[in-house]
Amino acid sequence: MAEQVLIFDTTLRDGEQTPGTSMNVSQKLRVARALAKLRVDVIEAGFPMTSQGDFEAVSLMANEIRDCQIAALTRPIEKDIEVSWEAIAKAENPRLHVFLSSSDIHLVHQLKMNREEVLEMAVAGVRQACKHTSNVEFSPMDASRTDRDYLVQIIEATIAAGATTINIPDTVGYAVPEEFGGLIKYLFENVSNIDKAVISVHCHNDLGLATANSLAAVMNGARQIEVTVNGIGERAGNAALEEIVMLFRTRSELLGLDTRVNTEEIYNISRLVSTIAGLIVQPNKAIVGANAFAHESGIHQDGILKEVSTYEIMRPKDIGIRKSKLVLGKTSGRHAFQDKLESLGYTVSREDLNRLFNRFKEVADKKKEVFDEDIEAIVADELVRGPEKYKLIYLNVSAGTTVRPTATVSIEIDGEQMVQAGFGTGPIDATYNTIAKMTGTKSTLIHFSISSLTGGTDAQGEVTVRLQEDDHVIIGQGSDPDIIIASAKAYITGLNRLESMKQNPYRSLD
């Protein structure tokens, strides 16, 4: 029987540190519910000390989510620990995750402390956390660049202080698999009390090695892996949940390892996190990318038609991809639409259902076929968005070979409706110039991309923009069969997120 590896998901903590990404309380709770349905072992719900919003989100998750542990990140500071514990105290199985840098690079340049002071602070923090729960995890940050003998010392001391999980972070993605696996092996051979704790790893993807390093660690004794959905996170991101889980499922016979994750929920949560975070999954992304189960080569197509296993090592249905995409049209009723929402993982109120159904009918009137991706885009537009300072009311654009591109835009700003017209080098430029003038934004558009959610000339277009203002970088998304309208929605969503970030500038630490 395969031995179980624990899956510790940090999408809601480290994942939210993705540049341009910020989730509000209701969005975080929606992701947490999906993670519980996915059956991860631990949800790192956030860093409660960073803001009131994060504290509230963590508390709501702790009160509602069951059948998985809820963890809160905290520095080894008494006030931080007490606030974090208050946030998760009502969880079914709460975990306090204490972290402190251990590499000389961090000690000298960031903490301005010596090794003895850090060791003392780490032990005191773990002891304080253990006053509340026996489920305490300790992370010596930047462990892969820490002196090995000192790392052994700090791990032994924190286990002796009560830590039951020790996490070894490759914080800057510096390690290579042989080296990182060797580090885990070294710890098992030299930490005298290592049998009293679960060894975990948290690998970043700066060199594209997060999954490989995580596997090397597990093969040398680690039994918990820290991951994020779609591999999002600080800088180049983290080990991707879907890659780790499907690696163990697909090669379980060879590795002798598996997880308790319900893999058929992987695709649903991948799409959910993509829409909430505003981050498009690259087409060639392993497991969940649009091309992951696509075959263009004639040789490959011939093989697939004769025997699927010739070129597919996983079945699409194993991660929740439905074979048939077309399910609804303009004649579909409210009940069928609600059933489809639930099959995609969305449970909504009667009020939200009415709003979504009305939007669905609008899309269905414009399109011959309505796909799952269309419905997810509708949900993203109508429910996933945060508080709205700006709201698009009306847009009319004139453009052509003999016409100067002109946009007439009506938007609502803090409840007051405004109308204005403007020009540009093209219809989208005219639209953006007009919106920028109306809102008085100082942001700069640093990225603009368009993708088709489905096939056909009547497909919904999805527009993604990245805006920057001072040190704030955010992502906005919008979808509509009319690409000009989708562009306007994406820009306004971005401006709303920028306003929200200004109000809540605090970010979690790595």
Q: Specify the pLDDT at position 324.
A: 43
Strands, DSSP E only, in 194-299?
198-203, 224-227, 257-258
Number of Cβ within 10 Å of residue 457's Cβ equals 8
Cα–Cα distance, 407 to 396 (Å, whole number): 6
**Which pTM value belongs to this model?**
0.79
Going by their DSSP bridges, the two strands 257-258 and 3-4 should be labelled as parallel
Q: Is the Cβ–Cβ distance between 490 and 434 less than 8 Å?
A: no
Cα–Cα distance, 24 to 339 (Å, whole number): 26
Q: Specify the pLDDT at position 386.
A: 58
Cα–Cα distance, 210 to 348 (Å, whole number): 36
Which residues lie closer than 8 Å to 376 by C-beta, 6 or more apart? 271, 272, 275, 344
Q: Specify the pLDDT at position 391.
A: 92
Sequential pLDDT tens for the chain (510 residues): 789 999 999 999 999 888 777 788 888 999 999 999 999 999 999 999 998 889 999 999 999 999 999 999 999 999 999 999 999 999 999 999 999 999 999 999 999 999 999 999 999 999 999 999 999 999 999 999 999 999 999 999 999 999 999 999 999 999 999 999 999 999 999 999 999 999 999 999 999 999 999 999 999 999 999 999 999 999 999 999 999 999 999 999 999 999 999 999 999 999 899 888 878 888 889 999 878 877 656 666 567 567 777 878 888 889 988 654 445 777 788 887 888 888 777 778 888 899 899 988 888 887 766 777 778 778 877 765 556 789 999 999 999 988 999 999 999 999 899 999 999 999 999 999 999 999 999 999 998 988 776 666 677 788 989 899 987 788 888 888 899 999 999 999 889 888 877 766 544 344
Q: Specify the pLDDT at position 388.
A: 79
Residue among 37, 24, 27, 28 at smallest CA distance from 10: 28
Q: Specify the pLDDT at position 472.
A: 79
Cα–Cα distance, 296 to 301 (Å, whole number): 7
Give me Rg for the CA atoms of the chain.
24
